[in-house]
Amino acid sequence: MEKEFLALIRVNQGIIHKVTSVYCDNEEDRKDLFQEILAQLWKSYPGFRQESKFSTWMYRIALNTAITSFKKWRRQPVANSLSLVNYQIADDNHSAETDENIALLKRAIARLTGIEKSIILLFLENKSYEEIADITGITQNYVRVKMNRIKTKLKGFMFSEE
């Protein structure tokens, strides 16, 4: 079972990197949260019944852990959060302007609440409203309402920085 688990984690570890990048500002905290999520995944793995996709299950555990951990992630200047970015928002062939926009977006995301971060992360991962509702435990309608609010909030943060 351990071998199977390790193989699955190796292939899907991007999910943990994305979650830790959204929730932590610095490398040390990211490592701590990564380890915490890994530990929770390993403890939960015997109960994984393949009723949902492995990635959905992984997101659920990872976000549950990130949200309920509430460790006082050491606050560092937001610019530091750009040093290690593992989640892909745009494709690799982007211009300097796109880079700046991505940086702005990441700084804006860092200012969201824990729940908002999880919803926007799942949205950026192209998860359907149904899947987001399934992972977060809220209704699809509420996911839509929340998404609209998050977009407005992000726009506000981004314009205020420009």
Partner 1 sequence: MLDETQIRAMLKKRSGSLMEKIDFNIRVGFYILLTTVVFIIAWDVLGFTGHISGGSIQSNVPGWLLILDFVSNIVIVTLFITFFLHYFRVRRLCREHCDIRHALMKVIGILTLYQRLFVVLLFIIMISSATGFTAGYFASIRENQTSEGFLIPVILFGVVLIALLTWLIFKLLRWVFRKIYGNYLDQLRKTLAELDELN
In the complex, which residues of this chain contact partner 1 (CB under 8 A)? Answer: 2, 6-7, 9-10, 13-14, 32, 34-36, 38-40, 42-44, 47-48, 60-61, 63-65, 67-71, 113-115, 118, 134-139, 141-142, 145-146
Residue type, 93: N
Cβ proximity to partner 1, 1 vs 96, nearer residue = 1
Rounded to the nearest 5°, which phi and psi values hold at 57?
Answer: -60, -40
Cβ proximity to partner 1, 52 vs 101, nearer residue = 52
Cβ proximity to partner 1, 21 vs 65, nearer residue = 65
- Say which residues have a Cβ less than 8 Å from residue 2's Cβ, sequence separation at least 6: none
Cβ proximity to partner 1, 65 vs 81, nearer residue = 65
d(C-alpha 140, C-alpha 133), whole Å:
5
Q: List the beta strands (DSSP E) in the chain.
A: none
Rounded to the nearest 5°, which phi and psi values hold at 69?
Answer: -75, -45
Shortest Cβ 47–partner 1 spacing (Å): 3
Give the side-chain half-sphere CA count within 13 A for 42: 11
d(C-alpha 102, C-alpha 93), whole Å:
13
- Say which residues have a Cβ less than 8 Å from residue 132's Cβ, sequence separation at least 6: 119, 122, 123, 140, 143
Cβ proximity to partner 1, 48 vs 157, nearer residue = 48
d(C-alpha 160, C-alpha 162), whole Å:
6
